[in-house]
Amino acid sequence: MITTPTAHRATAVAARAEDLSKVYGQGETRVIALDHVTVNFHQGEYTAIMGPSGSGKSTLMHCVAGLDTFSGGSVRIGDTELGPLKDKQLTRLRRDKIGFIFQAFNLLPTLTALENITLPMDIAGRRPDKEWLGKVIDMVGLSDRLGHRPAQLSGGQQQRVAVARALASRPEIIFGDEPTGNLDSRSGAQVLGFLRNSVRELGQTVVMVTHDPVAASYADRVIFLADGRIVDEMLRPTADGVLDRMKEFDGRGRTS
Amino acid sequence: MFRTALRNVLAHKARLLMTVLAVMLGVAFVSGTLIFTDTLSHAFRNQSAKSYDHVAVGITSYVDSDNGQETGLPQRTLDRIGKLDGVASVTGRVNGFAGVADPDGKLIGAQWSNTGSNFAPGKDGRDPAYDFTDGSGPVRDGQIALDEDTAAKGEYEVGDKVRVATNGPVREFTLTGVFTTDDGAVSAGGSLVLFDTSLAQRLYLKPGHYQEVTVTAAPGADDEKILDAVKPMLPENSEAKTGAALAEDQAWMIEQDMSSLNQMLLSFAGIALFVGVFLIANTFTMLVAQRTRDLALMRAVGASRKQITRSVLAEAGLVGLLASVVGFGLGVALAAGLRSGMAAFDMKVPAGPLVIGATPLIAALAVGILVTMFAAWLPGRRAGKIPPVAAMNSVHAAPTTKSLVVRNSIGAAVTALGVALITVGAAIGEQGREIIGGGAFFALVGVIVLIPLLSRPVIALVRPLLVRAFGVAGKLAGQNAVRNPRRTGATASALAIGLTLVTGLTVLGVSMGAALDKATTDQIKADYMIETAAGGGVDRSALAALDRSPRVSALSPDQSAYFRVKDDYVSATGVIPGDVERVLHIDVVKGSLNSLGKGQMAVDERTATEQGWKVGATVPVTFDDGKKGSLQVGAVYKEGAVLSSVLVDTKVITPHEARPYISRIYVKTDGGPSDANEKALIDALGKNPAISVMDQKDIRDELGGAVNMMLNIMYGLLAMALLIAVLGVVNTLAMSVFERQQEIGMLRAIGLDRPRVKRMVRLEAVVISVFGAVVGVALGSFLGWAIGQTIKDELPLYALVVPWGRIGIFLVLAALVGVLAAMWPARSAAKLNMLNAIKAE
């Protein structure tokens, strides 16, 4: 069924984790969140990270996105090695090369939708590319809501603003942490659709953590994590396929 | 419910820290003041009780109110009293000013208390009031004894020659003894010179007469009986009381003095606590907001509104109790510190234990607990109004907009009333001061109510500036500052109150200083002004001495006199015609000052208009001694700060004055002010330590110095209120950072670096502080202007001076306060764990 392996389709690696480990605590309270994980995220690819809670899926994303430190191994965004970077350089890297969409608290309540979208560029002191900005705003369908403040927008609209913000600065890679976790299914589908379109039409790279098989089915590839290790990978996933795979975890979880 | 309150206090230790600090400082101020004044008054009372301990009856003579003469108590009376049954001894005293010069000719001791008295030895040759540590008492003219401190300051030893000035010229005496005494004035830092009795009588009263007589009783004799026997022997204008009664009188006077000191300090403590109320209210509002769900849940499971409100109040009570206890401890330390501080400034306080009565403790607890509970009352009521369904909703939106409309209307009305009252008061003038006071209260309250509304437009004005100067951090800070207008308002209010008072006082002080400055430079042409160092009149002999000096080219006294025109008292100044216009600038409008030499009077414009006097008019007057006469108006001049309303030749008034009172002498010298001329004047005055020769700069310093010192004391006392306001800013910023954790985490994630997160928090603090300061400065300047309008009548040269420099400093200080207050919150914002912040729900 898989005719074109992802590795062949994408020529370059947007982000890469190699032998990545993350350990919390010491002695008896020691918890291994990530256990020598190696994974590539290719340019122009939409990847979903799945796994039962406590599997380390969020930790993997946080470490690769430069939000969290790690205990061993290495992480690269494009050509940049994250390990040796200080907070200041990491902050700049996130600002210039990475876009984020969180489950909640994506927007500043004091800023209008447009101001929220251009915030990363404001921080960097760059002028946004007008044409690109217009395209992104059109795509997420917010042209008539730009002057509104977050409190005047619905939850779905707010998340669409967040998507636009992540896309507006043309980052090398966008990370989403349960971006549809707080949305009803229709709004969620819209947001996921925009993310998929950005990959298809704009060549964006997207990595998204989710626990929703339907959300994962929008991706090109799904990585399954359990106990801090990558245990499986699925290309061109369907919601049913992902659900079945997830049920296996549950079954194994109960028997082990 | 009480247990919930206790748990809540413990759970929010850090949140409540600033509240506790604010209440603590206020309580420390209150209890410190009370303990300090208690201690002082206890010490003074003890001392006065001790000094009247051996007194059976004390007799004082006083000045006859009709003729201004003091008859005194003759020796004859003392002799008769001494023969009464039960009387052991009778001692007579005369007192007056006596200034001791140090070897350089400077006056020793505090200027307000340089006393001379007589050494009155008993049968054993000792005067029980004085214990000699060296030598013995003076027994003839030319000898003196000094108190130990004064002798030490002048480095005088028995046998040395000491120059002493009484009300006349200075004289040289031989020091025969050094003593210690219980005398209150001496232990408070004054100097005391003892002369032999007959010299003291000649100096201060008249030979053979005393001003005060102390009678001691033989063992077993009854004071009251002696008093009854003494009373019939007394001449007119004297009064006798028992020692116990005298001690009581003095205690009462001490009490009066203390209570005014008490009231002043307490009013500043009150301001500090008032400012604290805003901080406390802010804290509890936030605590309630944070616990909305918990409180709703309690409502859902059956707690009543009252119970919820009470639990918040109980929490406030607990916090107040804790803060009061600590604050009281701090107050005790403060009182102890103040007392040693006074000693360091040469203001001696009689020794005595620190008096910690029940009143300060009760006051501390009551003030601390009640203020905290009062401030928490509104938040408590709001907590009670939380509907039980709020437990189910994720967000409970408070109906803030509606209540702000009501609030703003009330605020606008109260502010308008206040401003109107102040304006009316300013228009009325001198009598309008109380109206202005009332208006100030309303205006301040109104502005405090309105401040949340004001915050948006005012801060919006500076936002473009912030964006231009600080980019994103500035933009976000500007918006964050107005996110919670109530809280921003309360925080800014605290600063605004302090700055309203500080600015108002500064505007007044600086304007008054400028007016006085103008008065000296514009009105005094003299090179030097001569006054007594200790206050009181300059002796007439000084006038003659100066007249003889070849360096003096013109001189005129400022001799005060009063006379009556019909039923009005008119204050007049006796001057020397011909010279007076050379030492003072007199702006003659009509007539000529030459008329003064002909025995006519010059009148200022205001008096001339009020009395309807014209040049050439003859006015019948009654002089101070009751003699009638008439004065012709020879000139009309513009009123000034230095001149009184009528000028006449000294020759006209001196014959009618029992004791001509020369308040100062103006001197013009050949060649103008110079060190040589100053020395010549000092020499001409006999190197008298009790007389000061001041040049124009000294005059300005003396006039301005008092104003500046007043201002500095006020600044010092208001510093407490400002400190609490700063705590309020810290508190608000800490709350903001805490509430916006997720947002700050998100900002960090999408690329705002730590320095800029810090800058954002700092700028928010600066914006709030400067906003409060601007409101305070505006209101304070307005008040300063209004009160200034009422001073104009008394100080004709008064004109509003806006102290831009100082106002600038206040604003810069407010900005610094913001930066300082934001230090800790900014750091904790920058240190925030991004991931926890984003994840947290």
Query: Which residue, B685, B540, B668, is CA-closest to B105?
Result: B685
pLDDT for B54: 80
Nearest C-alpha in A relative to B395: A151
pLDDT for B819: 92
Question: Considering chain A, what percentage of its residues have pLDDT values greater than 90?
Answer: 18
Interface test with B, best of A22, A91, A96 (most B CBs within 10 A): A91
How many residues are present in chain B? 841
The Cα–Cα gap between A204 and A197 comes to 9
Query: How many alpha carbons lie under 13 Å from residue B493 in its C-beta half-sphere?
Result: 28
The Cα–Cα gap between B607 and B475 comes to 62
Using DSSP, state whether B701 is helix, strand or coil. Answer: helix
The Cα-based distances of A180 to A64, A177, B639, B802 in angstroms read: 20, 9, 84, 61
Q: What is the mean pLDDT of residues B361-373?
A: 90
pLDDT digit string (tens) for B173-182? 999 999 988 7
Q: The domain containing residue A110 runs over which residues?
A: 44-52+82-255
Q: What is the mean pLDDT of residues B103-130?
A: 81
**Is B749 an interface residue toward A (CB < 8 Å)?**
yes
Q: What would the two tokens of residue B343 be?
A: 């000693």
The Cα–Cα gap between B363 and B324 comes to 10
pLDDT for B520: 76
pLDDT band at B329 (very low <50, low <70, confident <90, very high): very high
pLDDT band at B144 (very low <50, low <70, confident <90, very high): very high
Query: Which residue, B32, B89, B44, B70, is CA-closest to B257?
Result: B44
Q: What is the mean pLDDT of residues A83-112?
A: 86
Report the CATH number that the domain containing residue A203 is assigned in CATH.
Answer: 3.40.50.300
Lowest mean pLDDT among A64-68, A164-168, B6-10, B346-350: B346-350
pLDDT for A2: 39
Q: Which of B745, B751, B838 is the closest to A123 by Cβ?
A: B751
Give B101's contacts (C-beta < 8 A, 6+ positions apart): B107, B108, B154, B162, B163, B164, B165, B170, B687, B688, B689
- C-beta atoms of B751 and A111 within 8 A: no
Q: What would the two tokens of residue B242 be?
A: 């028992």
Residues of chain A in contact with residue B838, where contact means CB-CB under 8 angstroms, are 102, 105, 177
Annotate B808-826 with DSSP letters as a single string.
HHHHHHHHHHHHHHTHHHH
pLDDT for B217: 87
The Cα–Cα gap between B650 and B131 comes to 46
> Other C-beta atoms within 10 Å of A7: how many?
12
pLDDT for A1: 38
Q: What are phi and psi of B533, to 5 degrees?
A: -65, -35
pLDDT for A39: 92
pLDDT for A53: 82
Annotate A188-225 with DSSP letters as a single string.
HHHHHHHHHHHHHHH---EEEE-S-HHHHTTSSEEEEE
Query: Which residue, B418, B316, B323, is CA-closest to B364?
Result: B323
pLDDT for B839: 67
pLDDT for B1: 60
Confirm whether A73 is domain-assigned.
no
Q: Which of A92, A105, A125 is the closest to B746 by Cβ?
A: A105
Task: Report the gap between the CA of B726 and the closest CA in chain A (Å).
Answer: 26
Residues of chain B in contact with residue A158, where contact means CB-CB under 8 angstroms, are none
Q: What is the mean pLDDT of residues B27-35?
A: 87
Question: Considering chain B, what percentage of its residues have pLDDT values greater than 90?
Answer: 17
Nearest C-alpha in B relative to A96: B751
At CB < 8 Å, which residues of chain A contact B?
A: 62, 67-68, 87-88, 91-92, 94-96, 99-100, 102, 104-106, 108-111, 119-120, 122-125, 165, 177
DSSP assignment, residue B107? B
Number of separate domains in chain A = 1
Residues of chain A in contact with residue B830, where contact means CB-CB under 8 angstroms, are none
Q: What is the mean pLDDT of residues A236-243?
A: 87
Residues 365-394 of B with CB under 8 A from A: none
pLDDT band at B534 (very low <50, low <70, confident <90, very high): low
Residues of chain A in contact with residue B834, where contact means CB-CB under 8 angstroms, are 67
pLDDT for A251: 58
- C-beta atoms of A105 and B476 within 8 A: no
In sequence order, what are the beta bridge partners of A42? A13
**Is B831 an interface residue toward A (CB < 8 Å)?**
no
The Cα–Cα gap between A44 and A195 comes to 11
pLDDT for A209: 92
Where helices occur in B519-604 by DSSP H, the ranges are 540-548, 580-583
Confirm whether A88 is domain-assigned.
yes
Question: Above 90 in pLDDT, residue B770?
Answer: yes
pLDDT for B443: 92
How big, in percent rounded to 5, are the helix, strand and coil portions of chain A? 40, 25, 35
pLDDT digit string (tens) for B149-169? 899 988 999 999 998 888 767
For the B534-688 domain, the top CATH level (class) is mainly beta
* Residue A214 amino acid letter: V
Residue written as tokens 């805003």? Answer: B278
Using DSSP, state whether B505 is helix, strand or coil. Answer: helix
Average model confidence (pLDDT) across chain B: 85
- C-beta atoms of A100 and B750 within 8 A: yes
Residues of chain A in contact with residue B743, where contact means CB-CB under 8 angstroms, are 105, 108-109
Confirm whether A59 is domain-assigned.
no
The Cα–Cα gap between B139 and A6 comes to 122
Task: Report the gap between the CA of A231 and the closest CA in chain B (Å).
Answer: 25
Lowest mean pLDDT among A76-80, B195-199, B577-581, B796-800: B796-800
Using DSSP, state whether B410 is helix, strand or coil. Answer: helix
> Other C-beta atoms within 10 Å of B706: how many?
13
pLDDT for B780: 93
Query: Domain map of chain B by residue range?
Result: 1-35+259-398, 54-245, 454-525+696-841, 534-688
Q: What would the two tokens of residue B192 be?
A: 């005391």
Question: Considering chain B, what percentage of its residues have pLDDT values greater than 70?
Answer: 95
DSSP assignment, residue B572? E
> Other C-beta atoms within 10 Å of B343: how many?
12
Annotate B340-381 with DSSP letters as a single string.
HHHHHTT-----------HHHHHHHHHHHHHHHHHHTHHHHH
> Other C-beta atoms within 10 Å of A122: how many?
21
pLDDT digit string (tens) for B393-436? 554 444 455 567 888 888 899 999 999 999 998 888 778 888 88
pLDDT digit string (tens) for B459-481? 888 888 888 888 888 888 888 88
Residues of chain B in contact with residue A70, where contact means CB-CB under 8 angstroms, are none
Confirm whether A92 is domain-assigned.
yes
pLDDT digit string (tens) for B629-678? 889 999 999 887 677 889 999 888 888 887 788 888 999 998 888 888 88
Residues of chain B in contact with residue A99, where contact means CB-CB under 8 angstroms, are 750
Q: What is the mean pLDDT of residues A82-100?
A: 87
The Cα–Cα gap between A175 and A187 comes to 19
Question: Above 80 in pLDDT, residue B112?
Answer: no
The Cα–Cα gap between B156 and B191 comes to 13
Q: Strand order in A206-209's β-sheet?
A: A98-101, A173-177, A206-209, A46-50, A221-226, A229-235
Confirm whether A123 is domain-assigned.
yes
- C-beta atoms of A105 and B754 within 8 A: no
Question: Above 70 in pLDDT, residue A8?
Answer: no
Q: Which residue has the higher pLDDT, B495 or B713?
A: B495
Task: Report the gap between the CA of A95 and the closest CA in chain B (Å).
Answer: 4
Q: Is A30 buried (19+), middle (13-18) or exposed (0-12) by CB count in 10 A?
A: exposed
Residues of chain B in contact with residue A89, where contact means CB-CB under 8 angstroms, are none
Nearest C-alpha in B relative to A63: B835
Task: Report the gap between the CA of B479 and the closest CA in chain A (Å).
Answer: 6
Q: What would the two tokens of residue B443 be?
A: 């205006």
Question: Above 90 in pLDDT, residue B812?
Answer: yes
